[in-house]
Structure 1
Amino acid sequence: MQLFGEQSAPLIGIDISSAAVKVLQLSKSAGRYRVEHYAVEPLPANPTGDKSAVQTEVIGAAIKRAVAKSGSKSKHAAVAISGSSVITKVITVTGGVDDQAMEEQVFDEASNHIPYQMEEVSLDFEVLGPIPNTESVQVMIAAARTENVEARQAELEIAGLEAKVVDVEVFALENAFKLIFNQLDIPAGGLTAVVDIGANLTTLNVIKEGRSIYSREQVFGGKQLSEEIMRRYGLSFSESGAAKKLGGLPESYESEVLEPFKEGVAQQISRLLQFFYSGSDYSRVDQIVLAGGTASIAGLDQVVEQHLGVSTMTANPIASMTVSPRVQAHALAADAPALLIACGLALRSFD
């Protein structure tokens, strides 16, 4: 199983988070991407934390519904496993050897860095390039327990799909980063903090020259806002989720619930960045990019920018794409900040 994967046939990018399945398929013409198919399908509360066969069925069924809703007929998919279940590392090996010798070197060296038996692991690698003035090359390895890769394959099989690429979320993010790069205002060699705020987890990736140099997760997300709406207004979880998107809450919601939540998001981002600064030679990032479903909250970018004193924008990976008439453009635009990983996976069609 390829963790980096190369494809030419159209792939459906399928991003599976704890709260939803996001499906996206792209085409490319004259150097420009077009959104051909897209859908978002909610998942029952936090199924991905449970690896039981029942939850595999639940996720598989949700993928099937999402693909049907999107209208895609493709049977090939690119899917990702989360960073927390993947070991990535840059290692050094001797260059100038044939493919088989390179593979043997990488596997030998990788076994020194992976805390599992190698027979339990799916491993792939990518040669990053030579180290100046040496005969060595740097190689990025990605290793995941085979059971995690097989779980993703099983979920897709339930939906009638084949996993052509099993990627790693951080690599999918790097792949999608080029879609937003022209929207950034950073100096050459500058640092971009991509903060993906999901339902349950907030993930910080610090990107330098297109590669993630730091990643950290924190348990915090949009679910906290939903729970506060439930508590305040006596709504069910699904009702609170709908009210967040569609409105209809009392006037006091804005000042008593939403604004404090936005400030809480800014504090969480500040805390994540402090972890990065304390463990690196850096003391500042040049720009913050908000992604994930929670990033769609109006004015959140302004609150973060004000609190942290760093230019902040909301991710829009589809900004320069055209859209098929069959796609609901308004819904797609609303979901755009949550589609970074799905975009990165869909782009594997063109590797």
Structure 2
Amino acid sequence: MDASLSDDEMETQITVEADQYIPYAMDEVAIDFEVQGLNEKNPERVEVLLAACRRDNVEMREEALRLGGIKTKIVDIEAFAMERACELIEGQLELPDEDPVLAVVDIGATKTTLNVISRGKTVYTREQLFGGRQLTDEIQRRYGLTPEEAEKAKCRGGLPDDYEPEVLDPFRETVVQQVSRSLQFFYSSSQFNDVDAIALVGGSASIVGMAEMIQDKLGIPTRLANPFAGMSLAGRVDADELASEAPSLMIACGLAMRSFD
């Protein structure tokens, strides 16, 4: 964008021009922007980051907070929240002092997301429709459990002896394949040839043996992320319970680290 534009002028121009980049009607979209700095090749221009999403995605979250008696002040982007939270786990990882490249693998219920962070900034993001629900569904189908019982058994154990070799091992192998595939897409579309470490986050990251299998199969140091490891805890907080849930709370930590300015 033209560096001489005021914020109001830039907002007006972006609103007009954004239509060519966003495949939805503009009245269905929430957009925001932030100036990143002067263009290296042309100091009369500035680089501008444009963020956009379907408006109903924002309204759905606002309504959930409203029902909880909370007023929405900031709507953030998951990748940026994750980027901030990674400041809390750098000391837990085997990263070089100069130009570390960190792969963050977020294994959620229905999707697995790869975020690659270089020099503190997200340089790549990729989502795949695969997550912990596949494991829950297989437990439910094989052992005749309800969804609630299957989820509880997945987290707390107590399943028959054939669970690990027949159900858990194939799921872990599939996770490794998904992570490997995502990394190959990253390497093929960037100037990077490797990553220095993998941080596992998300609700299914804590599955027993997951980090070890990824490290063994891919040869990349892999650790479960715990953003609370360096924090002091109030006496009423169950430290063990928090540690077990920590990988699934990375985005929550990233949101908490954001200012309201």
- Aligned equivalent of 1:333: 243
Q: Which of 39, 44, 47 in structure 2 is aligned with 1:135?
A: 44
Query: How far apart, CA to CA, are the structure 2 residues paired with 1:322 and 1:291?
Result: 21
Structure 1 position 259, deviation (Å): 2.2
Q: Which of 129, 136, 150 in structure 1 is aligned with 2:59?
A: 150
Deviations 1:297-349 (A, max 9, x none): 12211100111111111111111111122322221111000001111111125
Is 1:268 the counterpart of 2:157? The answer is no
Equivalent pair of 2:73/2:260 in contact (CA under 8 Å): no
Please give the secondary structure, in 2, of the residue aligned with 1:288.
strand
Query: How far apart, CA to CA, are the structure 1 residues paired with 2:190 and 2:59?
Result: 35
Relative to total residues, which structure has the larger strand share, 1 or 2? 1
Equivalent pair of 2:102/2:196 in contact (CA under 8 Å): yes
- 1:182-261 alignment, distance < 5 Å: 182-187=91-96, 188-261=98-171
Is 1:103 the counterpart of 2:11? The answer is yes
Deviations 1:13-47 (A, max 9, x none): xxxxxxxxxxxxxxxxxxxxxxxxxxxxxxxxxxx
- Aligned equivalent of 2:27: 119
Question: Cα 1:249–1:145, aligned 2, differ >3 Å: closer, same or farther?
Answer: closer
Question: Cα 1:98–1:221, aligned 2, differ >3 Å: closer, same or farther?
Answer: same
Is 1:281 the counterpart of 2:219? The answer is no
Equivalent pair of 2:215/2:222 in contact (CA under 8 Å): yes
Question: What is the TM-score of this pair, normalised by structure 1?
Answer: 0.69
Please give the secondary structure, in 1, of the residue aligned with 2:258.
helix
Query: How far apart, CA to CA, are the structure 2 residues paired with 1:96 and 1:331?
Result: 53
Deviations 1:206-245 (A, max 9, x none): 1112222221111211112222222332222211211122
Structure 1 position 113, deviation (Å): 1.7
Structure 1 position 195, deviation (Å): 0.8
Query: How far apart, CA to CA, are the structure 2 residues paired with 1:114 and 1:217?
Result: 19
- Aligned equivalent of 1:48: none
Question: Cα 1:132–1:257, aligned 2, differ >3 Å: closer, same or farther?
Answer: same
Question: What is the TM-score of this pair, normalised by structure 2?
Answer: 0.90
- Aligned equivalent of 1:159: 68
Q: Which of 208, 224, 228 in structure 2 is aligned with 1:314?
A: 224
Is 1:169 the counterpart of 2:78? The answer is yes
Query: How far apart, CA to CA, are the structure 1 residues paired with 2:84 and 2:16?
Result: 28
Kindly provide the amino acid, as one letter, of the partner of residue 7 in structure 2. Answer: D
Deviations 1:78-137 (A, max 9, x none): xxxxxxxxxxxxxxx122543323333433443332223333322111121222352222
Kindly provide the amino acid, as one letter, of the partner of residue 185 in structure 1. Answer: E
Query: How far apart, CA to CA, are the structure 2 residues paired with 1:346 and 1:233?
Result: 40
Query: How far apart, CA to CA, are the structure 2 residues paired with 1:113 and 1:311?
Result: 38
Query: How far apart, CA to CA, are the structure 2 residues paired with 1:274 and 1:191?
Result: 15
Query: How far apart, CA to CA, are the structure 2 residues paired with 1:223 and 1:281?
Result: 34
- Aligned equivalent of 1:85: none
Question: Cα 1:350–1:183, aligned 2, differ >3 Å: closer, same or farther?
Answer: farther
If asked which structure has higher relative contact order (CA below 8 Å, sep 6+), I would say 1
Question: Cα 1:350–1:327, aligned 2, differ >3 Å: closer, same or farther?
Answer: farther
Kindly provide the amino acid, as one letter, of the partner of residue 341 in structure 1. Answer: I
Please give the secondary structure, in 2, of the residue aligned with 1:163.
coil
Structure 1 position 350, deviation (Å): 6.9
Kindly provide the amino acid, as one letter, of the partner of residue 10 in structure 2. Answer: M
Query: How far apart, CA to CA, are the structure 2 residues paired with 1:259 and 1:331?
Result: 25
Kindly provide the amino acid, as one letter, of the partner of residue 45 in structure 2. Answer: S
Query: How far apart, CA to CA, are the structure 2 residues paired with 1:282 and 1:167?
Result: 27
Which 5+ residue runs of structure 2 have no aligned equivalent? none
What is the aligned-residue identity percentage?
52
